[in-house]
């Protein structure tokens, strides 16, 4: 491996995480389309919503991560892909917009009819987005995206059998992952009927996803023979085998209602499949374009790698915190913890407030002098901090005598 | 100057529509971003008041605001996603040629978004589920990420306006130094400070405006008074400061982008002792029907009443931005900026002298109006910056017409996006109304009383 491969490896990890995390969000949306009737159906929708609401935004950022790493480290690739695959990219974008809007508006819905309507939009967009993203992967994998500004076909590039196959597979695996996760969540919440409902769904979706994947081998054989060759005759085959094993194990685990373990194997199945594709693709990114040729200058790669490692140091503990809260359930068993009543006190004493007001006035004059009248750069810096001081001191002075304890 | 580019030339019949699509996407994203930057600070301040005083009213306030915050954040996320897609959908040659130079800013920004999204999740779903201290602490990363996120994007924009940190050889960027390109750029600082303050003005006046409207309709108790006072104090302090910062921005523009300055002021010819015109319309290389203030431009831009200011005639017509668009946008921003600064000073004077809120109904009408007006000012400011940079996408290096995609069907994409955004706007308006109508969970003593008895 070379240094110029490294950002691509990070992007690949990001893609795996996007698929197993945001994929499950999409899948949860998928199940809202088929909730069943009446009260049980409503509970299924509620469960699917509540499990995903705290995490979907964080999960979605993995997509942004992948995109920004690619356009920084391999700019030509991003530009060629986005300009040729304009149509599916836009469809995915619209799906994402509709989904986010549905999430944002759901908190305002008052009747179950409104909620059901919002959930239908959510579900439809949750199918649209992964399908469109899947067709893009199919287009790249079957080498239908040439290097250049919109150099490939506007429609034929992403409507080949391989693209459609991977689009469908993306939807099916999303539904599968979501059903497994939601069954595990239901078990944790001690909702036996919901756990059973999602267990059935997980088994059905697992069988479907497996069937699509197997049928896919035939499709790829006919439609994208070079990809077929590379999938079966390089190390990629190991990824595929692992995926098959993990997928099969998941079905067994779900069948035995061992959902927590199934969570892990289900994610592993998807990750191994993506890894297999990555190995088959290596070292050609787009027809005639190697990773080495696509990579940005060395300085940029160094900066990106450092930024990702440093960012990861902040990111992973934070993500751990969020998922721990969601999974351990501290985010779903309300145990009201309000402050113990105490003797009310004022925010600030009157004399302090007066002092702050004078400080604010002085800071403003410093700001005016250093930013507006002086010309030197260092003076501007002082001026900006003067104005900042005006804002902060002034704010506390302004609110002090109004805000305070009741009564 | 503008030679070949990485992906080579294309013909795009719908460049104008591509630009409009980009502009539309920004106009939807930027007001939401303002809330992403400034609202967490207000929510956390209310929660801090609760921790300090033990008064449940502040907790109710913070909790209600946080619901609005998370709804707007969700829409900010998706509109931002559209913008990042558009870097490839609309401007692939820009990204292909310069992604290695500016992309780092967005890559770092990605981590800001992670932090923001994660902790907003913890904060909003953690009410009642975390200890008060831990809950308050979980809001702090949201505030920091709001700042670093906007720092990164603005760094990219500042680089586009004042590019450095690379050489262009045969259409490829070489000798690339992304860190110095993004962060050693003098143009960054006024943009960052000006945008950051704009976010506080917009959020402050919009939130205060909602309660000002409520007051006109008779909803006015201790809760509403507090909910008005916090954002209004912030906006009233920020808006006079914005004039000083805007003046700084204009001086930076004068030295780094003289043609943009000439467009802002409609200065046809290079001249010493250049005037400023208030209002008016630019035709035949000069401003007609405006009120001239002699020598003011030279004085403001260079602190010397006789300084020479470059006019639009210093570059060929094909290298000039559309003057009236830029000029009207600029005058709109400055006009609104001046008006809301006066409103802010009115509030400050009453508050400091009389130690109370203003009582005039006109004051509250003006506050209600100031919210939407400050959004207009912020968008007008970005129009000034972005259209003022035209025809360049990277100032002096790459033309917007070289950056654009060769794909067909831009008008269809533009129409679809406009339609979807109309739907988003309706959805957001609907959910905000619903959230505002949810009953207040307050002890009777703090409930609404008639406006007249309020103060
Ligand atoms: C609430 C919003 C708001 C208000 C009241 C003002 N501005 Fe502004 N202005 C912006 C919001 C804004 C912005 C956030 O939209 C811009 C776009 C780019 C930037 O850095 O800030 C901007 C840009 C911008 C520019 C162009 C900078 C560039 O191209 O880099 C100038 C010269 C000014 N402003 C000057 C002013 C002056 C003299 C104001 C005084 C009244 C003023 N602005 C009020
Ligand atoms: C990174 C930060 C950026 C910010 C904050 C920003 C901001 C804006 C805003 C607010 C507008 C609306 C102006 C209008 O109403 O006409 C705009 C327009 C535009 N932006 Fe940017 N922009 C950024 C990056 C970009 C990029 C990456 C491109 C593409 C290469 C771009 C190209 C344009 C174009 C072509 C327009 C339309 C101008 C016109 O209508 O004449 N900008 N930008
Ligand atoms: C004026 C310029 C801009 C500023 C200050 C800004 C800042 C922000 C902030 C603070 C957020 C957090 C979400 C929120 O609170 O609403 C956000 C979201 C986002 N912005 Fe912008 N942005 C600007 C323009 C852009 C541009 C030009 C792009 C892309 C090229 C972009 C891409 C994004 C993305 C992808 C998100 C979603 C992040 C997520 O998933 O959490 N933004 N932006």
User: Scanning the structure block, which residue is given the tokens 């001690």?
Assistant: A190
Separation CA A285–CA A364 (nearest Å)? 56
How distant is the Cα of B318 from the closest Cα of chain A, in angstroms? Answer: 25
Tokens standing for A288?
């005639």
Mean pLDDT of chain A: 88
Which of A71, A338, A403 lies at the smallest CB-CB distance from B103?
A71
List Cβ neighbours of A147 (8 Å cut-off, separation of 6 or more).
A76, A80, A286, A287, A288, A289
pLDDT in tens, A1-11: 789 999 999 99
The residues in A 149-168 lying below 8 A from B, measured between CB atoms, are 149-151, 154
Q: Please give the pLDDT value at position B218.
A: 86
Residue to probe by mutation, ligand 3, list B25, B29, B375, most atoms within 8 Å of CB: B29
Closest alpha carbon to B374 in B133, B178, B187, B209 = B209
> Does B440 lie at the interface with A, CB-CB under 8 angstroms?
no
Given a cut of 60, whether residue B447 has pLDDT beyond it is no
The residues in A 168-227 lying below 8 A from B, measured between CB atoms, are none
Given a cut of 90, whether residue B235 has pLDDT beyond it is yes
- The mean pLDDT of B417-430, rounded to a whole number, is 93
Q: Looking at beta carbons, which residues of chain B come within 8 Å of A139?
A: none
Closest alpha carbon to B440 in B255, B249, B211, B231 = B211
Q: Which residue lies with its CA nearest to atom 28 of ligand 1? A: B385
> Does B434 lie at the interface with A, CB-CB under 8 angstroms?
yes
Comparing A297-311, A341-355, B330-344, which segment has the lowest mean pLDDT?
Answer: A341-355
Given a cut of 80, whether residue A405 has pLDDT beyond it is no
Question: Are B8 and A387 a contacting pair at CB < 8 A?
Answer: no
Q: What ipTM was estimated for this complex?
A: 0.90
Separation CA B204–CA B221 (nearest Å)? 19
Separation CA B330–CA B254 (nearest Å)? 14
CA dihedral A152, A154, A159, A160 (to 10 degrees): -20
Q: Do residues B65 and B46 lie in contact, with contact meaning Cβ atoms separated by under 8 Å?
A: yes
- Pocket flag, ligand 1, residue B368 (CB < 6 Å): no
Q: Looking at beta carbons, which residues of chain A come within 8 Å of B402?
A: none
Tokens standing for A161?
């059998």
Higher-confidence residue: A49 or A92?
A92
For residue B164, give the H/E element and its range: none
Closest alpha carbon to B336 in B362, B374, B290, B305 = B374
- The mean pLDDT of B297-324, rounded to a whole number, is 90
Question: Are A83 and B406 a contacting pair at CB < 8 A?
Answer: yes
Q: Which residue lies with its CA nearest to atom 4 of ligand 1? A: B337
For residue B136, give the H/E element and its range: helix B132-161
Given a cut of 50, whether residue B442 has pLDDT beyond it is yes
Q: Please give the pLDDT value at position A174.
A: 94
Closest alpha carbon to B231 in B11, B69, B10, B395 = B69
Closest alpha carbon to B82 in A52, A29, A92, A54 = A92
User: Scanning the structure block, which residue is given the tokens 């009120």?
Assistant: B291
- The mean pLDDT of A200-210, rounded to a whole number, is 93
pLDDT in tens, A147-200: 988 888 898 999 999 999 999 999 999 999 999 999 998 988 888 889 999 999
Question: Are B100 and A76 a contacting pair at CB < 8 A?
Answer: no
Higher-confidence residue: A297 or B441?
A297
The pLDDT-based confidence of A342 (bands split at 50, 70, 90) is low
pLDDT in tens, B42-93: 999 999 988 888 888 899 999 999 999 998 998 999 999 999 999 989 999 9
Rg of the Cα trace of chain B?
Answer: 24
> Does A16 lie at the interface with B, CB-CB under 8 angstroms?
no
The pLDDT-based confidence of A201 (bands split at 50, 70, 90) is very high
Nearest chain B residue to A118 by CA distance is B427
Q: Looking at beta carbons, which residues of chain B come within 8 Å of A404?
A: 53, 55
Q: Please give the pLDDT value at position B427.
A: 92
Q: How many residues does chain B have?
A: 455
The pLDDT-based confidence of B454 (bands split at 50, 70, 90) is very low
pLDDT in tens, A12-65: 999 999 999 999 889 988 998 877 777 788 888 888 888 888 888 888 999 999
Report CA torsion sign: A153, A154, A158, A160. Answer: negative
φ and ψ of A146, to 5 deg: -75, 165
B223, HSE (Cβ side, Cα atoms, 13 Å): 23
Which of A341, A380, A395 lies at the smallest CB-CB distance from B233?
A395
pLDDT in tens, B157-198: 999 999 988 888 888 888 888 888 899 898 999 999 999 999
Separation CA B245–CA B113 (nearest Å)? 27
Q: Which residue lies with its CA nearest to atom 29 of ligand 2? A: B91
CB pairs A-B closer than 8 Å: 354
Determine if the peptide bond prior to A283 is cis (ω within 30°). Answer: yes
Which of B52, B423, B445 lies at the smallest CB-CB distance from A347?
B52
Q: Please give the pLDDT value at position B2.
A: 46
The pLDDT-based confidence of A341 (bands split at 50, 70, 90) is low
Comparing B38-42, B58-62, B426-430, B445-449, which segment has the lowest mean pLDDT?
Answer: B445-449
Q: Please give the pLDDT value at position B198.
A: 97
Given a cut of 60, whether residue A202 has pLDDT beyond it is yes
Nearest chain B residue to A350 by CA distance is B355
Report CA torsion sign: A9, A15, A21, A24. Answer: negative
Residue to probe by mutation, ligand 3, list A60, A64, A72, A93, most atoms within 8 Å of CB: A64
Separation CA B163–CA B100 (nearest Å)? 13
Closest alpha carbon to B389 in B6, B23, B132, B116 = B23
Q: Please give the pLDDT value at position A111.
A: 79
Tokens standing for B343?
């409103």
- The mean pLDDT of B128-150, rounded to a whole number, is 91
The pLDDT-based confidence of B450 (bands split at 50, 70, 90) is very low
Helix (H, G, I), strand (E, B) or coil at A221: helix
Separation CA B34–CA A204 (nearest Å)? 45
Q: Looking at beta carbons, which residues of chain B come within 8 Å of A401?
A: 355
- The mean pLDDT of A218-235, rounded to a whole number, is 89
List pocket residues of ligand 2, CB cut-off 6 Å. Answer: B 19-20, 22-23, 26, 30, 87, 91, 94, 153, 156-157, 382-383, 386-387, 390, 393, 400, 403
> Does B423 lie at the interface with A, CB-CB under 8 angstroms?
yes
Q: What's the DSSP call for residue A147?
A: S
Q: Do residues B268 and B285 lie in contact, with contact meaning Cβ atoms separated by under 8 Å?
A: yes
Q: Please give the pLDDT value at position A91.
A: 95
pLDDT in tens, B54-68: 888 899 999 999 999
Q: Please give the pLDDT value at position A32.
A: 86
Q: Which residue lies with its CA nearest to atom 6 of ligand 3? A: B150
Mean pLDDT of chain B: 90
Q: Do residues B270 and B259 lie in contact, with contact meaning Cβ atoms separated by under 8 Å?
A: no
- The mean pLDDT of B396-422, rounded to a whole number, is 90
The residues in A 77-136 lying below 8 A from B, measured between CB atoms, are 78-84, 86-87, 89-90, 92-94, 96-105, 107-110
Closest alpha carbon to B74 in B130, B127, B35, B24 = B35
Separation CA A262–CA A153 (nearest Å)? 41
List pocket residues of ligand 3, CB cut-off 6 Å. Answer: A 57, 60-61, 64; B 29-30, 32-33, 36-37, 73, 76-77, 80-81, 83-84, 87, 113, 116-117, 146, 149-150, 153-154, 195
Question: Are A104 and B72 a contacting pair at CB < 8 A?
Answer: yes
Q: Which residue lies with its CA nearest to atom 32 of ligand 2? A: B393
Nearest chain B residue to A344 by CA distance is B53
φ and ψ of A108, to 5 deg: -95, -5
Give Cα B81 to chain centroid, integer Å.
17
How distant is the Cα of A215 from the closest Cα of chain B, in angstroms? Answer: 32
Q: Please give the pLDDT value at position B172.
A: 85
Separation CA B19–CA A315 (nearest Å)? 35
- Pocket flag, ligand 1, residue B247 (CB < 6 Å): yes
Tokens standing for B44?
């956390």
Burial of A7 (0-12, 13-18, 19+ CB in 10 A): buried
Please count the other Cβ atoms lying within 10 Å of the Cβ belonging to residue B15.
18
How distant is the Cα of A147 from the closest Cα of chain B, in angstroms? Answer: 8
Which of A300, A390, A392 to substitute to test the interface with B, most B CBs within 10 Å?
A300
Comparing A111-115, A379-383, B268-272, B297-301, which segment has the lowest mean pLDDT?
Answer: A111-115
Give Cα A281 to chain centroid, integer Å.
24
How distant is the Cα of B285 from the closest Cα of chain A, in angstroms? Answer: 30
Separation CA A13–CA A66 (nearest Å)? 9
Q: Which atom of ligand 3 is nearest to the CA of B81?
A: 35
Closest alpha carbon to B61 in A79, A118, A403, A282 = A403
């Amino acid at each position: 491996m070379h240094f110029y491969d490294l950002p691509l490896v990070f992007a690949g990890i990001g893609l795996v995480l996007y698929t197993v995390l945001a994929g499950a969000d999409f899948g949860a949306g998928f199940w809202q389309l088929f909730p069943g009737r009446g009260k049980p159906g409503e509970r299924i929708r509620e469960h699917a919503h509540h499990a995903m609401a705290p995490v979907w935004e964080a999960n979605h950022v993995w997509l942004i991560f992948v995109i920004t790493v690619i356009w920084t480290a391999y700019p030509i690739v991003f530009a060629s892909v986005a300009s040729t695959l304009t149509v599916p990219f836009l469809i995915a974008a619209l799906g994402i917009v509709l989904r986010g809007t549905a999430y944002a508006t759901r908190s305002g819905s008052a009747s179950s009819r409104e909620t059901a309507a919002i959930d239908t939009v959510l579900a439809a967009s949750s199918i649209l987005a992964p399908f469109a993203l899947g067709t893009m992967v199919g287009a790249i994998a079957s080498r239908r995206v040439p290097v250049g500004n919109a150099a490939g076909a506007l429609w034929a590039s992403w409507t080949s059998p391989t693209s459609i196959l991977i689009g469908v597979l993306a939807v099916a695996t999303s539904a599968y992952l979501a059903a497994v996760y939601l069954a595990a969540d239901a078990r944790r919440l001690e909702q036996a009927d919901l756990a059973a409902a999602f267990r059935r769904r997980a088994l059905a979706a697992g069988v479907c996803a497996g069937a699509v994947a197997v049928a896919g081998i035939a499709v790829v054989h006919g439609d994208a023979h070079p990809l077929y060759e590379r999938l079966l005759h390089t190390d990629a085959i190991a990824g595929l085998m692992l995926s098959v094993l993990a997928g099969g194990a998941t079905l067994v685990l779900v069948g035995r209602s061992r959902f927590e373990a199934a969570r892990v194997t289900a994610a592993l199945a998807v990750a191994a499949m993506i890894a297999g594709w990555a190995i088959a693709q290596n070292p050609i990114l787009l027809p005639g374009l190697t990773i080495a040729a696509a990579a940005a200058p060395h300085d940029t790669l160094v900066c990106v790698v450092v930024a990702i490692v440093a960012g990861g140091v902040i990111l992973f503990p934070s993500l751990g915190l969020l998922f721990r809260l969601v999974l351990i359930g501290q985010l779903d068993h309300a145990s009201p913890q309000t402050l113990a009543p105490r003797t009310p006190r004022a925010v600030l004493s009157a004399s302090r407030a007066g002092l702050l007001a004078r400080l604010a006035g002085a800071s403003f004059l410093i700001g005016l002098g250093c930013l507006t009248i002086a010309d030197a750069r260092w003076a501007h810096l002082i001026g900006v901090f003067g104005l900042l001081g005006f804002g902060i001191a002034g704010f506390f002075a302004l609110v002090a005598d109004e805000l305070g304890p009741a009564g | 100057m503008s030679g070949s580019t990485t992906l080579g030339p294309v013909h795009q019949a719908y460049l104008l529509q591509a630009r409009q699509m980009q502009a539309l996407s920004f106009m939807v994203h930027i007001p939401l971003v303002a809330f992403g930057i400034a609202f967490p600070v207000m929510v956390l301040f209310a929660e801090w008041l609760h921790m300090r005083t033990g008064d449940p009213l502040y907790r109710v306030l913070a909790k209600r605001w946080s619901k609005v915050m998370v709804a707007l954040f969700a829409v900010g996320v998706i509109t931002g996603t559209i913008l990042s897609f558009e870097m490839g959908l609309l401007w692939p040659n820009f990204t292909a040629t310069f992604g290695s130079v500016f992309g780092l800013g967005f890559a770092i920004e990605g981590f800001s978004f992670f932090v923001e999204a994660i902790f907003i999740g913890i904060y909003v779903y953690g009410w009642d589920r975390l200890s008060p201290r831990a809950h308050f602490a979980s809001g702090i990363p949201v505030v920091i990420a709001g700042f670093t996120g906007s720092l990164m994007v603005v760094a990219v924009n500042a680089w586009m306006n004042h590019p450095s940190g690379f050489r262009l050889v045969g259409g490829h960027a070489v000798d690339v130094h992304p860190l110095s390109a993004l962060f050693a750029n003098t143009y960054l600082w006024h943009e960052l400070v000006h945008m950051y303050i704009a976010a506080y003005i917009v959020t402050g006046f919009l939130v205060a405006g909602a309660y000002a409207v409520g007051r006109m309709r008779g909803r006015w108790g201790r809760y509403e008074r507090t909910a008005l006072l916090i954002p209004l104090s912030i906006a009233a302090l920020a808006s006079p400061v914005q004039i000083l910062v805007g003046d700084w921005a204009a001086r930076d523009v004068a030295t780094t982008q003289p043609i943009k300055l000439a467009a802002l002021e409609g200065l046809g010819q290079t001249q010493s002792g250049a005037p400023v015109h208030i209002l008016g319309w630019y035709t035949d290389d000069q401003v007609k029907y405006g009120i001239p203030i002699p020598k003011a431009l030279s004085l403001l831009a260079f602190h010397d009443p006789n300084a020479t200011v470059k006019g639009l005639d210093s570059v060929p017509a094909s290298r000039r931005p559309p003057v009236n668009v830029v000029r009207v946008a600029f005058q709109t921003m400055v006009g609104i900026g001046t008006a809301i600064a006066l409103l802010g000073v009115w509030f400050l004077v009453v508050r400091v002298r009389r130690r109370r809120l203003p009582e005039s109904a006109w004051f509250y009408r003006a506050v209600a109006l100031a919210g939407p007006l400050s959004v207009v000012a912020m968008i007008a400011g970005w129009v000034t910056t972005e259209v003022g940079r035209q025809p360049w996408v990277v100032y002096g290096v790459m033309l917007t017409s070289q950056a654009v995609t060769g794909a067909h069907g831009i008008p269809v994409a533009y129409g679809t996006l406009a339609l979807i955004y109309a739907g988003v706007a309706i959805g957001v308006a609907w959910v905000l109304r619903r959230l505002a109508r949810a009953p207040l969970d307050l002890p009777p003593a703090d409930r609404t009383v008639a406006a007249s008895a309020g103060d």
